[in-house]
Structure formats: structure tokens, C-alpha cells
Amino acid sequence: MNANTTVERVAAPQAAPVAQGGAAVVARPDAAAREVLLAVENVSLGFGGVKALTDVSFDIRKGEIRAIIGPNGAGKTSMLNCINGFYHPTEGRITFKGETRQKMRPHEAAAGGIARTFQNVALFKGMSTLDNIMTGRSLKMRANLFWQLVRFGPATREEVEHRRKVEDIIDFLQIPHIRKTPVGKLPYGLQKRVELGRALAMEPELLLLDEPMAGMNLEEKEDMSRFILDVNQEFGTTIALIEHDTGVVMDLSDRVVVLEYGRKIADGTPDEVKANQAVIDAYLGVPH
Amino acid sequence: MIYRESGQYKTSYEADRAVFPLRQDRIGIAVIIAAAYAAGVFGSDFLLQAVLIPFLIFSLAAIGLNILVGYAGLLSLGTGAFMGVGAYACYKLMTAFPEVNVVVWILMSGFFSAAVGVFFGLPSLRIKGFYLAVATLAAQFFLQWSFNRIPWLYNYNISGAIEAPLTTLFGVPITGATATAEARYLVVLTLVIGLTWLASNLVHGRIGRQWMAIRDMDIAAELIGIRPLHAKLMAFACSSYFVGVAGAMMVFLWYGGAEYNVFNIDQSFFILFMIIIGGLGSLIGSFMGAALIFMLPIGLGIVLPAITEPFGITVGAATIEHLRFMIVGALIIFFLIVEPHGLARLWQIGKQKLRVWPFPY
């Protein structure tokens, strides 16, 4: 949106409005040419003596699926925590939608349009699926305390209007049968799905997924992959995901960034990354 | 068979989000409310003064504490003191502006305890759980000390106590020595029903969901855009409001007068036990907990002599008092072992069983 972006972006986005769904698939290889949504520049993060991230730079472009991979302890989750304001980088800066933020709080990131799921499911266990996803719309609800107290007028209208949106998400994720079930009682795979739903309820511009497929069987992984692609293509949401299943990562993502010991060792399309010797040594390995 | 939802289809989200979606529940609540008002007209003075009025007042205090502990997950041990703030604020307002109706002041006094609650709730932004409970103890001791040591609060009475002056509602005395138990009961009942309705609206809406989100997973709640500062202080304010109103009602519509030591830490624990036994995060549990903790000893006091006397054993009043404590204590332990989630959960299980009866599931 801002005028100071370079000439190279003119070509790709202009084609997008013609056919959103189709264009996205065709445009996959050109992801690098799109507008930058989030730029991470020379970010370092230290906890006392431990350096979780050292001088990491990469960008996430509008509408792409960006994967962050790397061995355990490489700093992937720390990176996401920096992006949504849970940690503050000790050095470097993060620019989101052309705005560089210093010490942003997580709820400010949420208001800015960054949503997030967690490695270990972080749902509100005592609440139903419906309430969990409804909570995701908190930021968009405006009725004041008085109307909330009498549960009438604007409070009811607003609640019903948001309920409709939430039901769309429930349908999209195919979970209407567990609408009223407390999420603590749900199996793991469904909990992950509800968590995705809660993040989607925020209608984010950037969706951060921390290991969305951890601990799932093949079928569940296929379902989740489908949802991620659908979210990306139908809603146009930009996605950054951390995932250990290399097959899934290479199939889903437009571009991949590889971290090891808090440093970036590779960045590029899945094919480039797969062929990179440093990545093979550090993470992928060779087939025996 | 009677408690079935079959045939009751919801055709709108408005109907689906109702607090009582089942017709049977709605009828049940209407019957209970009607019976409660009937009790005011037909009940004996003992029933009203010694059982029902305190039960309702403690229920309201339990609802207040439940908002904080059960819904928002913030442990507090300052309930007694916040009740005191409501009572003393009401006393000051009543004596300073006697021309305004006392019911207005009782409802206003809650705002003072809400403000004090917010102030003492500030540590909750940094600390949780037992540590927060200890921090709220500061409120308990400091406020109780103030009630005793700041004579302005009790209008420099030599006795150091606050006493309810005579006031009327629609020409009927409702506070002071001449007020009948019946009149006071009807006022208490109406206020408690109204405030419970407000509390129910609050916890079933956006604000309630935010509290529960903070309770269940505060980090995720913050990343969704809920501001912990707002949500937690709001919980302290709402909770303290209800607790404060309960405190004002306790002094002016039940005791008729009070000293600072009414609002001691025992009172705080008493209310906390009610919500633990009744069920955290449940409004009906607040009523059930208050009923069990408050009414059980009274019930035993009546039942025990009735059991022993036919056997020719006369038990002294002191022994009955001891027995009461022992039995109540044992029952509390029993309930907590059988159902750690409180009476509200037992009630839910019962309703679920009734729904599928005569089949097991």
C-alpha cells in the first residue's frame, strides 16, 4: 500500500484481482516478487548468556506460505515469539506492513492483524469449541459494559453477527459436531483444528502456525494441509509455519527459511533449499 | 422422561445463546422464583431472618467471589474486607444523605468496593495463584484495621459500631429495629435476583469469555488481543461490586448493625469455601455452596435433637454445636472427594442422567 516500494512489485500484484484463486496457484514461483508484508532485519535475541537468535534477516511477502524449518532448538519458535511481540529482539528490527515497532505488546500485534497457533495446544480448556472461537473475535466486538450487563440491544446483535462468522469457520473446518463440547475433552487432532479456527476468527493478515501437524497421523496431516492451503488461497491470508515434516513443508510452502543454532543458513524456494549442502548437513540428511 | 430437549428446535442464534435454552429449565426457574416470593409472604420469621436472608446475601457474595476466582482465575482472600467496604460506604452515604432511598445507597456502595478492589487488584498483573492470594491478604488486614481505627468511617460512634438507621421503601420500614423480616427478605430477594441476572449476562457474554480465556491460558488470550490489564481489573471491579453490595445488605438488611470484626478473614474463608464446594465458575454453584455451608449447620441443629430424643438421649446444646462442626467438616471432605468440581458439577451430571433416563446413556 505504501508508495515507497520498488518497481519490481508492479507486475505481479496487478494480475492478482483477475482470478484470486487461480492466480495464486500460478503465481507460486513468483512469491519473491510480491509486496513485503513482514521484514525481519538483523534480529538477535539473547536470554542472559544464551543467544537464541543471531543476526537473522528474512521477509514474508503478501499471500505466500513461508516455512521456517531447522533442527530442535534452532530458534524457530523464538522467531515467531519475536514477530508477535511476545519477545522483544535485543538487536535488529521487525517491520510489519511498513511499520517498524519497538517493544510491541502481543495484544497490539493481534490488533495489527497477526494471529498465532501454538506448538503445544494453547486452547481455553474449560470453554466449548464455540466459545473458544468466539473469543478469537474479542477484538472485533464493541458493545459496551451497559449493553453487556442487560444482554440486550447492541450486545445481542453483535453477538449474533459474530456467531454467524464463527459458524462459517466451524463449517470451513468441518467441526460442527463438536460445537458445544468443552475443548479439554477433544482428541488432539481436533484441538489443533479448533486452535486454527480461533486464529482464523481474528481474520488475520499474517497467520503464524507453530508445528500445526505435530503428533498427527497421515490422514490428519493431509486434512490440516488442505486447510492451510485453503486458508491461504480462499482468504488470501499470508502464512508463516514451522513444521518438522519436510515432505509437508516442501509441498506447501512457497519459500523456506532454514535456521540452525539461531542463525539463518539458507533461504529460498523448496527446491533450492533441498539442494543446499548446508541444509542437508544440518537438518535434512541424506537417504540411506 | 420429563426433562427432555426433544422437539425443542432452535431456529436462530438468539435462541441458541439463551441462558436457559431448555423449556423445562425456564419453567423450573420461574417456579423457584415464585416459591421464593411466596416464602416471603408465608414463611415464619425464623425461616426468613435466620435462614433465607443470610443465605441470599452469602450467595451474592459467593457470586462476586466466583467471578474473580472461578471465572477469571484470580485467587483472593480479601472478600471479607471488600464486604466491609460496601457496608461502611453504605453507612456513610446513608447518614450523609438520609433523604435518598437506602436501596439506592446499597447499590451505590458497591462502586466504592469496586474501586478499592481495583486498587488491591493491581498486583494481579504481575503475580498469580497463591502469591496473589497473599497479596490480597494485605487488603484484608489493612481494610479491617481501617474500619476499626478510622473513626470517621463509623461517624465517631463511641461504640465503634455502625448501626442501621430507620429507613423505608414505599412507606414500609426496611432497615432499623422496626423493619419486619418479611419486608427485608423481599428487598434482599429482589436485589439478589436482579444482580444475579446481571452477573449471568456478564459471564455469558464477551467479557465473561475474556475472563475465562485469561483463566485458562493467559498467554494465548493476550495473543488473541485480550488486554490482561483490562480483563483482570474488570474482574476485580465486578467481583468487588457484588461482594460490596452483599456486605452492605448483610449489615443493613440482616444484622442491623456491625463492628469491624464482622469483616475479618474468617468471613473471607467462609465465602471461599462456599464457591469451592459449590463449584468454581458456576453461578448456580454459588447458590448451592452458600446453601450447603450456611444452611447445613442450621439443618443439623434441628435434625440432631430430633434423632437422638426418641432414644431417650438428651444432648446438650454445646454437644450439638460440636457435633455440627464435626459433621459439616466431614461432609465437606466427602463432597470434595466425590466431586472435586463442586455441587454444580453434580447437578449437571444429574441433569444429564435425567435427560437420557431410563437409559444409561
Residue range B219-232, pLDDT digits in tens: 899 888 888 888 99
CB contact under 8 A, B14 and A198: no
**Alpha carbon of residue A271 to chain centroid:** 22
**Global pTM?**
0.87
What letter would DSSP give residue A182? B
Q: CA A116 to CA A85: how far, in whole Å?
A: 11
CB contact under 8 A, A138 and B209: yes
Task: Return the pLDDT at A31.
Answer: 62
**Phi, psi for A163 (deg, rounded to 5):** -60, -40
User: Under DSSP, is residue B254 helix (H, G, I), strand (E, B) or coil?
Assistant: helix
Question: Sign of dihedral through CA atoms B271, B277, B283, B288?
Answer: negative
Exposed/middle/buried for B345, CB within 10 Å: 0-12, 13-18, 19+? middle
Note whether B11 contacts A: Cβ–Cβ < 8 A. Answer: no
Architecture of domain A1-113+204-288: 3-Layer(aba) Sandwich (3.40)
Of A125, A136, A164, the CB nearest to B224: A136
Retrieve residue B308's grid coordinates. 437422638
Tell me what ipTM this predicted complex has: 0.84
The shares of helix, strand and coil residues in chain A, as percent rounded to the nearest 5, are: 45, 20, 30
- CA diameter of chain A: 68
User: Under DSSP, is residue B282 helix (H, G, I), strand (E, B) or coil?
Assistant: coil
Q: CA A111 to CA A64: how far, in whole Å?
A: 21
Averaged confidence pLDDT in chain B:
87
Note whether A175 contacts B: Cβ–Cβ < 8 A. Answer: no
Per-residue b or e along B223-235, where b marks 16 or more CB atoms closer than 10 Å to that residue's CB: bbbbbbeebbbbb
Q: Delimit the domains of chain A by residue range.
A: 1-113+204-288, 122-201
pLDDT (tens digit per residue) in B16-45: 777 787 788 888 899 999 999 998 888 888
Q: To the nearest 10°, the Cα dihedral for A83, A85, A89, A95? A: 50
Q: CA A177 to CA A160: how far, in whole Å?
A: 20
Judge if the upstream peptide bond of residue B358 is cis by omega within 30 degrees of 0: yes
Higher per-residue pLDDT: B39 or B339: B39
Q: CA A258 to CA A268: how far, in whole Å?
A: 9
Residue by residue, pLDDT tens for chain A (288 residues) are 444 433 333 333 333 343 344 444 444 556 667 888 999 999 999 888 888 999 999 999 999 999 999 888 888 999 999 998 888 998 888 998 888 877 788 888 898 899 999 988 899 998 999 999 999 988 888 778 888 888 888 888 888 889 999 999 999 999 999 988 999 999 988 999 999 999 999 999 999 999 998 888 899 999 999 999 999 998 889 999 999 888 888 999 999 999 999 899 989 999 888 888 888 888 787 776
Please tell me the least confidently modeled range out of A109-123, B168-182, B341-355: B168-182
Please report the domains of chain B, with CATH numbers, ordered by start residue.
20-264 (1.10.3470)
Question: Which chain B positions have a beta carbon within 8 Å of A134's beta carbon?
Answer: 209
pLDDT (tens digit per residue) in B95-139: 888 888 889 999 999 999 999 999 998 988 888 888 888 889 989
Of B14, B202, B217, the CB nearest to A122: B217
Retrieve residue A163's grid coordinates. 456467531
DSSP A43-80: EEEEETTEEEEEEEEEEEETT-EEEEE-STTSSHHHHH
Task: Return the pLDDT at A15.
Answer: 38
**Alpha carbon of residue A272 to chain centroid:** 23
Is the pLDDT at B172 greater than 70? The verdict is: yes
Task: Return the pLDDT at B128.
Answer: 82
Residue B186's CB is within 10 A of a number of other CB atoms, namely 20
Is the pLDDT at B187 greater than 70? The verdict is: yes
